[in-house]
Structure 1
Amino acid sequence: MNQSQDSNVETAVLGGGCFWCTEGVLQSLRGVLEVTPGYSGGHVDNPSYEQVCGKDTGHIEVVRVRFDPSIIDFATLLKVFFATHDPTTVDRQGADVGPQYASAIFCQSEEQKAVARDVIAQVEAALDTRVVTKVLDAAPFWPAEAYHHDYYARNPQQGYCQFVIAPKMAKLRKDFAGMLA
């Protein structure tokens, strides 16, 4: 579905550490139509996972989220995003360390930028600490290789999925049960 074909669809591009985690969480939400893992923010066209992990392309692991704002608005999407990753650590999510794991919002409009800043202020007040999430302008999005798509859904018993993603999914089910698809 192309956004120009359906004015009821918006796009968000979010980096919350490993894209496997962010994808698994956000695709569970009612109103989210599609979540695609990929890379954004770098200076190399169509980078590979290996290039991004090499830490010199400038890319961040992200997900492109297509959602229906009449069901879930951008602010609510961001609240789930912030609740299911650590927005207070620079270039790190747990044991995943490097610039590709930065917490980032690639704003697709000035409205998204204003909403992002407002939600960040709310999160900082709730956590009583500084949020380091980067609020960036839209940048080219490069889809990740096919084996990264639906990773958690296809590999729930894999070690990383069990120890890193499963707890985030449990938190999602506990804190946002009414929002699940």
Structure 2
Amino acid sequence: AGTLAALDSRRYLALLDAVDALLAAPPLRPAASAPPAKALPKALLKDYARLATRVEHALALAPGQERDRALHAARKAAKRARYAGEAAVPALGRPAQRFAKRMKAVQSVLGDHQDSVVAREALRALAVQAHLAGESAFTWGLLFGQEEAAATDSERALPGAWAEASRRRTRASLGR
């Protein structure tokens, strides 16, 4: 009964009217009227530039929490660039596919690092709980060490993945 009342309410009907109006006249940016072959490379390169800034910033930092946060920000930028590249494939073809593949490789390395950051936080909390309960925290410490090594491996892999992803040829093939 509550669902039917909500679907019959003025608020819901106003929402439907607003959605219809949005679909009829979407507030598009000026670039939306440009041909895809012109607008999409520009958008992809903008996402690439955002990622480049974040990767270079993260790599300049010493290992630690600040670097972990910067690497996570770079991961989010890599994900955005990857999905933008994948969305551009129908219009741009192989160059966008290659771009998306390279961004995915960077995203994967950064994702592995972030997984380790999250795992280490959880392992640290479990070790503290074990210690406070009078139990041994040794196993949690071993697992923490393995995750720390995995993070170090990811950080070592990032410059190579980034060098491959940031090749000028990849960007030039987008047509700009």
Higher relative contact order (CA 8 A, sep 6+): 1
Normalized against structure 1, the TM-score is what? Answer: 0.25
TM-score between the two structures when normalised by the length of structure 2:
0.25
Larger Rg: 2
| Higher relative helix content | 2
More strand by share: 1
